[in-house]
Amino acid sequence: MSAPRARIAETLRSSPHTLERLRAALGSLSTLALKELDASLPWYRSLLPEQRSALGLIAQRGISSFVAWFEDPSAPTWVLDDVFADAPSELSRTISLQKALQLIRVVVGVVEERVPELADPKEQVPLREAVLLYSREVAFAAADVYARAAEKRGAWDSRLEALVVDAVLRGEDPDSLRSRLASIGWRSQSDLCVVVGFAPATVTGNSVRELRRASVRSARDSVVGIQGDRIILLLGGLDQHGPLERLAKHFGDGPVVVGPVVPTLRELPASARAALMALAAAPAWPDAPRPVLADDLWPERALAGDKDAVDALVQRVYRPLVAAGPALAETLTRYLAEGHSLEATARALYVHANTVRYRLRRITDATGWDPFSPRDALVLQSALICGRLHPGASAES
C-alpha cells in the first residue's frame, strides 16, 4: 500500500465516524451529483434518456465505490470491477474520453464540496486527500477503458480492411464491395487505384499506420492489407498530381507497382489484377522506377502471359497506330529494324530523313509513346507484335 493510502487507512482505524457519515450520505451525494451533471454539462443534457441513465449509473457507482475504497484503500481491483463494469459498451460508445473526464471531475467536485459536512475538522484533510487520490485512480481507469476499447476497434477495423482487400482481389460484386467499404468509413467513389509491393521483413502496427498516414497526402481514402509477403494498398479520391514516391519507402525491398486509376468501384478489381501481374513481371525490368505504373510494364506482362496487357497493347497502342495510316506502322517497323537510325530508315523507305522524323512524331501523337525513347520504343515494338498476332486486329481497327 502506498504512503497516502496507509495514512488514510490509519486515520479511519482511529476514528470511524467519517466512514459512517459517508455511508449515510450515499443517496444524497448521488442525487446531488446527477443534478450537477445536468446543470454544468450541456452535452450531458443533450444525450438520449437511456444514455443519461447509463452515465448516471456510472456516476452513482463511482460514489458507492469511493465509500468502499475509503473503508479499505488497499483493495486492488475496485475501480474496474465496480465503476466501469460495463464501460466499454456504455461509456466509450456514448461519449469521448474528454467528456468522461469532465463527468469524473463534476462527481468528485460534489463529494469534495461536502467534505465539511462529512468529516470532523481533524479528519477533513485525510478525506480531501482520499477524494483526490480516488479521482486520480478513476481517471487512470477511464483512460485504460478507452485504450482497451480503441484496441478492440482497431483489431476489428483491421479485420474489416482485410475482408475489403480480399473482396477487391476476388472481384466481388460492386454493391457488396461498396457496403464493405462503407463499414470502414470509405467515402470515395472515383479516382481509385491499387498499389502493391512486398512487405518489410518485420511488419508492425506502427509501420502500417505510417503507410496510412503517408497515403493521406495522396488520396482521400486508403485501406491497407497484408497478404503473406505482399502489401495491398487501396486508394480512393486519388490526387493524380500528388506524387506517390513517398509511399515506396513504407514497402519492403523490391518493386512497388501502381495499378491503373479507375473511375468506379466496379473497375477496382481490374486495377488490382493489373498491379499484381505487373509486380510478378517487374523483375524483367531491373531499371524500372519505384514506384512504377502497371501500364508501363505492358511488354513484360505480355511476355509473362498477361492477357490484359496483350489486349491493352492492341487496343491502346496498335489500333490507334494503324488507324492513323499504314505509313506510320510501316515506318515504325523499318525504324526499329534499322536500329533506330533515321538515315537508314529513310534510305529503306526511299523518303527524306525529315519525313521519317515527321512520321515518328505522328506516332507519338497517335499512341502517346515516343519512338525516340528506348523504353517507349520497346512498348511500340511489343504492340506491333501483339497486334499482328491478335486475330482480326487490323480488320477491327
> Distance between CA atoms of 206 and 191, rounded to whole angstroms?
27
Query: Which of 107, 96, 101, 66 is CA-nearest to residue 83?
Result: 66
Residues 288 and 390 in one domain: no
> Distance between CA atoms of 268 and 236, rounded to whole angstroms?
10
* Residue 375 pLDDT class (50, 70, 90 cuts): very high
- The owner of cell 468509413 is 185
Domain-located, residue 163: no
Residues 285 and 319 in one domain: no
Exposure of 158 in the CB half-sphere (CA atoms within 13 A): 12
* pLDDT value at 293 more than 60: yes
In terms of pLDDT, which residue wins out, 78 or 275? 275
Domain-located, residue 169: no
Residues 255 and 312 in one domain: no
> Distance between CA atoms of 316 and 143, rounded to whole angstroms?
57
Strand order in the sheet with 193-198: 219-227, 230-238, 193-198, 256-258, 292-293
Hey, what's the cell of 1? 500500500
100, 133, 152: which is the final residue of a domain?
152
Domain-located, residue 388: yes
Residues 9 and 136 in one domain: yes
pLDDT digits (tens, 9 = 90+) for 34-67: 888 888 888 888 888 877 777 777 777 777 777 7
According to the model, what pLDDT value does residue 395 have? 44
Q: What is the CATH number of the domain that holds 371?
A: 1.10.10.2840
pTM above 0.85, yes or no: no
Residues 242, 218: contact at Cβ < 8 Å? yes
Residues 136 and 255 in one domain: no
Residues 273 and 313 in one domain: no
Q: What is the CATH number of the domain that holds 270?
A: 3.30.70.2730
Any idea which of 144-158, 209-223, 329-343 has the lowest mean pLDDT? 144-158
Residues 139 and 196 in one domain: no
Q: Which domain holds residue 109?
A: 3-152
> Distance between CA atoms of 69 and 19, rounded to whole angstroms?
10
* pLDDT value at 314 more than 90: yes
Torsion of CA 341, 345, 346, 347, to 10 degrees: 110
Q: Please give the average per-residue pLDDT across 176-205, as a whole number.
A: 82
Domain-located, residue 203: yes
Residues 367, 359: contact at Cβ < 8 Å? no
Domain-located, residue 168: no
Residues 131 and 271 in one domain: no
Residues 18 and 133 in one domain: yes
> Distance between CA atoms of 396 and 376, rounded to whole angstroms?
24
Residues 192 and 131 in one domain: no
Burial class (CB in 10 A: 0-12, 13-18, 19+), 316: middle
Q: Which helix (H) or strand (E) holds 68?
A: helix 49-71
According to the model, what pLDDT value does residue 75 have? 57
Q: How many domains does the chain have?
A: 3
294, 329, 361: which is the final residue of a domain?
294
- The owner of cell 525491398 is 253
Torsion of CA 390, 391, 396, 397, to 10 degrees: 30
Query: Which 8-state DSSP code applies to residue 14?
Result: H
According to the model, what pLDDT value does residue 396 have? 43
Domain-located, residue 72: yes
Q: What is the CATH number of the domain that holds 129?
A: 1.10.490
According to the model, what pLDDT value does residue 152 have? 57
* Residue 92 pLDDT class (50, 70, 90 cuts): low
- 242-271: burial string, b at 16+ Cβ within 10 Å, e else: eebeebbebbbeebbbbbbbbeebeebbeb
pLDDT digits (tens, 9 = 90+) for 135-156: 777 777 777 766 666 555 555 5
Residues 12 and 142 in one domain: yes
**Cis, peptide link before residue 121, omega less than 30° from 0:** no
Domain-located, residue 361: yes
Residues 107 and 24 in one domain: yes
Query: Which of 297, 234, 289 is CA-nearest to residue 261?
Result: 234
pLDDT digits (tens, 9 = 90+) for 241-286: 667 788 888 898 999 999 999 998 889 999 999 999 999 999 999 9
- Say what percent of the chain tops pLDDT 90: 35
Domain-located, residue 170: no
152, 174, 200: which is the final residue of a domain?
152
> Distance between CA atoms of 389 and 387, rounded to whole angstroms?
5
